[in-house]
Structure 1
Amino acid sequence: METISNGNGGVRNRHVAVFAFPFASHPQLLLTLVQRLAAATPTVVFSFFSTERTNRGLFSERGCDNILRYDVSDGLPEGYVLPGKLHEDINYFLAVAEKEFKRGVQVAEKDVGMKINCLVVDAFLWFSADLAEELKVPWVALWTAGACSLSAHIYTDLIREKYAELKGSAGLNDEIVDLIPGFTSIRLGDLPSGVILGDLDSPFATMPHRMGRTLTKATAVLINSFQELDPGLTKNLSSMCNNFLNIGPFNLVSSPSKQDEFSCITWLDNQKPGSVAYISFGTKFSPPPHELVALAEALEATKTPFLWSINKDSERHFPLGFLETTTANGLGKIVPWAPQVQVLEHVAIGVFVTHSGWNSVLESIGAGVPMICRPFIGDQPINTWMVERVWGIGVRIEGGNFTKLGTCHALEQVLSADASSKGRKERIGALKDHAHKAVGPNGSSIQNFNTLVGVVTGATL
């Protein structure tokens, strides 16, 4: 067995290559996992590969402890400025990714002085299965979203085959029974982008399709969730994949930012328990101007206290005087950024108005806060389906878009003291307990993580 000194008197005896998908929250989530693994396996060195731009945001220097940073090309021609076309940056990256990661492995092996023993990759990078086979090492794939969307991608061929038969009689709003194993029913329009909707031949749609066909080859498939959330889906995916391991929620095993530069927590301290609507659509999404107006008008009409995290540019779409009036009368606080985990955990929060990104859904469950969902793209619609129809812990905004009347109704539904609202709070409270137990001593996610450590170190192979 190869060994090298770690520079601190210890010995490194394994070398793991980590391939990131350098978009949205994917790299940060993968690094969170690697940091946990690095802490648990001090004799393993991890070479983390992503684009220079992404790595710059993740690392303050070349690397730290037993995690080393390596940059790969983003595929953009030198000096090229992206015109803002959807997924164009992803398409450029995918065109060079396989070649770049292979090159990077050779550089890291020479640099570290040790051959790669294992690949830990973002599941989107399906082609890395071939490299793992070539290197004769375990291939570990991380799916950063939920079991619901992963199931849709694994069963894409089946769905497309069935949908072809249903096309004449079923529209996107129709519920289809027994379309995906583990689902009692699903709405066609809520399937993730690229399954049956959009340009199915685009690189962005091909990527998850190829991934779904390839994941059954993986030594282990990791998911940022906990098995008590989706027992039926977990059972089915476990029958399809080797070592299907729920190892989350990540937000409960990593330290959230304590920064609160806009005094969100101080403001919440002065609000009544369970009264505040926290509003955030992440960093990449924002409703169109007319929906922002409708949401603002609904907050005023219902006199709902609110904390709204929104970029400065979007504030210009607010109704005339909304910003000044709600700030002056103490009804609301508008900030460009909020410490979301801390905010959701605050006793004043009664509802989370969200785009239903998977991280946001998990953070809401971890804090026991019901949701009002306005999904946009990707896995957000199927996450919304789960929130409303499967787990019963939130509602979808009527018609899929914010209107004043529909938003007033949603706020009243979730924040009222009636039986249905109490039921939602009880159900999400139960899921919160399951989530915290999963990452507690001897919890299911901790046991699964220990299994992963055995795979990465070679102890269970």
Structure 2
Amino acid sequence: MSITKNAHVAAFAFPFGSHPTTLLHLVKQLAAASPQVQFSYFNTKSSNQKVSSKVDSTHAHESNIKIYDVDDGVPQGHVFSGNPIELIEFFVKATPGNFRKRLEEVETEMGMKATCLLTDAFLWFSVEMAEEKGIPWLAYWAAGPSSISLHLYIDVLRAKLGSDSGRIQNLDQTLDFIPGMSEIRASDLPTEILQLNGLFSRMLYNMSNTINRASVVLLNSFDGIDFIVENDLKSKLKMLLNIGPFPLPNAMTVTEDHSGCLSWLSHQAAASVAYISFGTIFTPPPPELVALAEAMEEKQVPYLWSFRDNSKRQLLQGFFERTSRIGKVVEWAPQSQVLSHPSVGVFVTHCGWNSTLDSIMGGVPMICMPFFADQMINRRLMENVWQIGVGVKGVFAKSGLVEVLDLVLWKDEGKKMRENIGRMKERAYTAVAENGSSTENFKSLTSIITSSKFN
């Protein structure tokens, strides 16, 4: 195979949630595997500052990676309202000009044109930039195969379900008209799929209509997680590569456990602890937090709670004090390692895709509290398809939480969930082992970014 001289991969991040962190993990892995290639990672300044503190140090000193800031679009002196969508829409307004301008500056500084664009799939305009330059666009999808499949069927969904307002007539209707979606219901769909009432929704709609032009679509997933959906995707995309799950739990060294989570877990009984974390964007509303705390206290379940929202911490201060003998609250936890610890018996989660993968890799069943985006879809997969988790029935109240804690931790249904997720864990580790499907797909990816036939 012919190797391109002066290969330069430009990576564009979507700077919200877990998106920029997982993309940088991928860039670092590629940089370590392809030392002859130069990598430029573009993200907003505030997001770069957050990401640098989260990404593992395994490949932190790769000399062939440089990180650059792009304009976030926020006006000088703007007072933030607290609504995350506000920042997203400022950023969307700034695209694609912010990326185009910064890339041109970097190309001049380096004396090297980009030979490949590796970008978050949300940044749909990357395909136009890549086509202008005559280089491949590699689109990284930060969620699972089911959610990207639904985006490919966006016009079908609108025609079947709805109205211009995005209102769904029958929320219980299943999506059995889409391959592999017979258990997904209309009520599980993100509002962005059915509505075009904002810049972010339009960005996703544009992505839905351009993703099939990507040279390669990359998923942080593994072959076999859903054969029907994967095969349908492969029939619609030029190339689909599952390259996950990543990063693996052992990618983060124990010395980064600044809060002492792992040492605390080592003093707990096997499969007894509830690990609680709701991601980086939203925290449940106060009534739900109180209901969860009351259920934990009634059942006297040992807990490790990663609680980031200081504005709501006082709400549960009495609970934390009363249960300090059996619980630990921290602002941050090394999640993948926590979920791989034998003391953890259940994960109370918002059902984000990265958290779902972390739980699979740890073999820990889940109690599902989804908020938005693909989280409702993931909840349905966990509960109805994979049978590795359970949602709270009806109103989110103490009684429902007590019921699901009983079910997962102590009843036969929970034992069955642990068996099911144990089998998924085995498949996931097989995929990333030597000669595994994700390992081989990653090798194909490194060949693509260095091969002259793509450049």
| TM-score where L is the length of structure 2 | 0.92
Counterpart in the other structure of 1:404: 398
Residues in 1 aligned to 2:250 and 2:71: alpha-carbon distance in whole angstroms:
29
Query: Do the aligned residues in 2 keep the contact of 1:179 with 1:185 (CA within 8 Å)?
Result: no
Query: Do the aligned residues in 1 keep the contact of 2:31 with 2:62 (CA within 8 Å)?
Result: no
For residue 378 of structure 1, the aligned residue among 369, 373, 380 is 373
Counterpart in the other structure of 1:8: none
The question of 1:436 aligning with 2:434 is answered: no
Change (3 A) 1:201 1:170: closer
Correspondences of 1:31-430 after superposition (within 5 Å): 31-58=24-51, 65-164=63-162, 170-172=169-171, 174-196=172-194, 199-252=195-248, 255-256=251-252, 258=254, 259-311=256-308, 312-318=310-316, 321-327=318-324, 330-399=325-394, 402-418=396-412, 420-430=413-423
Instruction: Give the residue type in structure 1 aligned to 2:406.
Output: E
Instruction: Give the residue type in structure 2 aligned to 1:217.
Output: R
Query: Do the aligned residues in 2 keep the contact of 1:44 with 1:457 (CA within 8 Å)?
Result: yes
Change (3 A) 1:58 1:406: closer
Instruction: Give the residue type in structure 2 aligned to 1:398.
Output: K
Structure 1 residue 228: Cα displacement: 1.8
Instruction: Give the residue type in structure 2 aligned to 1:363.
Output: D
Change (3 A) 1:36 1:459: farther
Structure 1 alignment gaps of length 5 or more: 4-10
Structure 1 residue 72: Cα displacement: 1.4
Change (3 A) 1:414 1:459: farther
Query: Do the aligned residues in 2 keep the contact of 1:49 with 1:70 (CA within 8 Å)?
Result: yes
Structure 1 residue 34: Cα displacement: 0.8
Higher relative contact order (CA 8 A, sep 6+): 2
Residues in 2 aligned to 1:294 and 1:168: alpha-carbon distance in whole angstroms:
30
Residues in 2 aligned to 1:331 and 1:293: alpha-carbon distance in whole angstroms:
18
Change (3 A) 1:229 1:366: same
Structure 1 residue 261: Cα displacement: 2.4
Residues in 1 aligned to 2:332 and 2:277: alpha-carbon distance in whole angstroms:
9
Structure 1 residue 253: Cα displacement: 7.7
Structure 1 residue 59: Cα displacement: 5.1
Instruction: Give the residue type in structure 2 aligned to 1:74.
Output: D
Residues in 2 aligned to 1:324 and 1:14: alpha-carbon distance in whole angstroms:
56
Residues in 1 aligned to 2:168 and 2:96: alpha-carbon distance in whole angstroms:
41
Query: Do the aligned residues in 1 keep the contact of 2:250 with 2:337 (CA within 8 Å)?
Result: no
Residues in 2 aligned to 1:273 and 1:302: alpha-carbon distance in whole angstroms:
17
Structure 1 residue 23: Cα displacement: 1.3
Counterpart in the other structure of 1:29: 22
Give the SS at the match of 1:108: helix
Cα deviation 1:282-330 (Å, max 9, x = unaligned): 2222111111111111112222221111134323222x84222211xx2
Give the SS at the match of 1:87: helix
Cα deviation 1:354-385 (Å, max 9, x = unaligned): 01011111000000000000001111111111
Residues in 2 aligned to 1:153 and 1:219: alpha-carbon distance in whole angstroms:
18
Instruction: Give the residue type in structure 2 aligned to 1:157.
Output: D
Query: Do the aligned residues in 2 keep the contact of 1:12 with 1:42 (CA within 8 Å)?
Result: no
Give the SS at the match of 2:321: helix
Residues in 1 aligned to 2:261 and 2:18: alpha-carbon distance in whole angstroms:
23
Residues in 2 aligned to 1:169 and 1:160: alpha-carbon distance in whole angstroms:
9
Aligned alpha-carbon RMSD (Å): 2.2
Structure 1 residue 12: Cα displacement: 5.7
Structure 2 alignment gaps of length 5 or more: 54-59
Cα deviation 1:60-105 (Å, max 9, x = unaligned): 9x99511122221111122222222341111111112111211122
Counterpart in the other structure of 2:57: none
Cα deviation 1:107-166 (Å, max 9, x = unaligned): 12211112221111110000111111110101100001111111111111111111039x
| TM-score where L is the length of structure 1 | 0.91
Query: Do the aligned residues in 2 keep the contact of 1:140 with 1:222 (CA within 8 Å)?
Result: yes
Structure 1 residue 240: Cα displacement: 0.8
Change (3 A) 1:390 1:268: same
List structure 1 segments (4+ residues) > 3 angstroms apart after TM superposition.
Answer: 56-60, 167-170
Residues in 1 aligned to 2:67 and 2:167: alpha-carbon distance in whole angstroms:
52
Give the SS at the match of 1:338: coil
Query: Do the aligned residues in 2 keep the contact of 1:75 with 1:95 (CA within 8 Å)?
Result: yes
Residues in 2 aligned to 1:448 and 1:370: alpha-carbon distance in whole angstroms:
28
Residues in 2 aligned to 1:139 and 1:326: alpha-carbon distance in whole angstroms:
51
